[in-house]
Amino acid sequence: MSTYDDQSAVTVLGLGPMGRALAGAFLDAGLRTTVWNRTPGRDGDLAARGAACARTPEEAVAASDLVVVCVVNYDACDAILRRPAVADALKGRTLVNLTADTPARARDTAAWAAAHDIRYLDGAIMTPTTSIGTPEAVFLHSGPEQVYRAHRPALDTLGGTHTHLGEDVGRAAAYDVALLDIFWTAMAGYAHALAVARAEGISGRELAPFAQGIAAILPPLFEEFAGDVDDATYSGELNPITSAVSSMSHVIEASEGHGIEAGVMRAAEGQARRVIGLGHGTDGFMRVTDLLSGGARRA
C-alpha cells in the first residue's frame, strides 16, 4: 500500500461528466490515475490519456492511497463503497467524497468510514464541469484538517480554490445545500419571469440584459442581508416587507392573468404576509428567515 503522504497516485470512482473531468485534471497534472465506473464504456478517452482502467471498484481502490468518489448521490455512493470487498480495500486509505447530498448523509458516511479505519473527507464542487482544472473551479472540503492538509497537493491539481470549512464533516454539504438553494430558486424565478415576459410579447433575449442588471444588484444585498440575519436587525428602512408584498402581488396578478401558475411567488408572498401578521410589517424581507426557523413566533 502507498504511504499516507503519497501524492503521485489517485483513484476516481464514478465517470459521469464531473468524474471524467476530475480524472482528466489528475492526468493532466501527471498523477498516476486509476478509474472505475459502474456502467462500462466511459473510460475509453481516459485510457487513451494514460489512465489505468480497473475491472472492479476494489481493484481501483487498491491502486491508490487517495480515492475520490463522485457519483449522483449517496445512495449510489453507498452501493459502491459499502460492498465488503471495497470497504476492506479502503482500510487505511483516504476517501474524498465529492458526491452531492445532505449534511446528515455526509456525517453518516464519515461514521461508517471511521468504523472501517478509512480516513474520510467530504466535499462539494460549486462550479460546472468545464471549470475543473482551471482557476475558476471552486471546491469546499470538511473533515479532519490533518487529512485535508496531507492530500492538499493532489487536490490542488484539480484547479481553482479549495477551502477547508472545519472538522465537522457535514459542513461542506451544508454549504452546498444552502448555495444550491439560492441557485435553483433563482433559476425557477428566471424561468417564471421568461414565461411572463413571453406572454406579454417580450422575448427572452430582449429581457436578458435587464435581468443581468437585476442580478448585479444582488451581491451587495447578499452581504447586507447576511448581516441583518446574523444580527437579527431585519432593517426595513429602505424597503419594508409591506412594500415587498405589494410588488409580489403584482407579479402574481400578471402571471395568473395569462394563465401562468404562480405557486413559487404565492409561497413567498404568503410567508411575507405571515410576518406582517406577526407584527413585523416595518421590517425588511429577511425577517422571513426568522419565520422559517420558527423565531418570528417568539419575537
pLDDT single digits (tens) 91-101: 999 999 999 99
pLDDT by residue (tens digit) across 9-59?
999 999 999 999 999 999 999 999 999 999 888 898 999 999 999 999 999
Per-residue confidence at 221, pLDDT binned at 50, 70, 90? Answer: very high
What's the mean pLDDT when you consider all of the chain?
95
The set of cell numbers assigned to 250 is 403584482
Per-residue confidence at 242, pLDDT binned at 50, 70, 90? Answer: very high
What is the pLDDT averaged over residues 136-143?
A: 98
Does 186 have pLDDT greater than 60? Answer: yes
**Block residue for cell numbers 462539494:** 124
pLDDT at position 2, please? 38
pLDDT at position 23, please? 98
**Block residue for cell numbers 487529512:** 147
Portion of the chain with pLDDT greater than 90, in percent: 92
Q: What angle do CA 92, 98, 103 make, to 5 degrees?
A: 95
Per-residue confidence at 264, pLDDT binned at 50, 70, 90? Answer: very high
Question: SS3 of 272, please?
Answer: helix
The enclosing H or E element of 20 equals helix 17-28
For residue 40, the one-letter residue type is P
The enclosing H or E element of 146 equals helix 145-156
Per-residue confidence at 1, pLDDT binned at 50, 70, 90? Answer: very low
pLDDT at position 275, please? 97
pLDDT at position 294, please? 85
Does 297 have pLDDT greater than 60? Answer: no
What is the C-alpha separation between 7 and 200, in angstroms, rounded? 58
What residue ranges define each of the domains in the chain, with the CATH number in brackets?
9-167 (3.40.50.720), 203-297 (1.10.1040.10)
Cα–Cα separations (whole angstroms), residue 202 to 193, 197, 206:
10, 5, 6
Q: What φ, ψ does residue 95 adopt, rounded to 5°?
A: -110, 120
pTM score of the predicted model: 0.92
pLDDT at position 6, please? 56
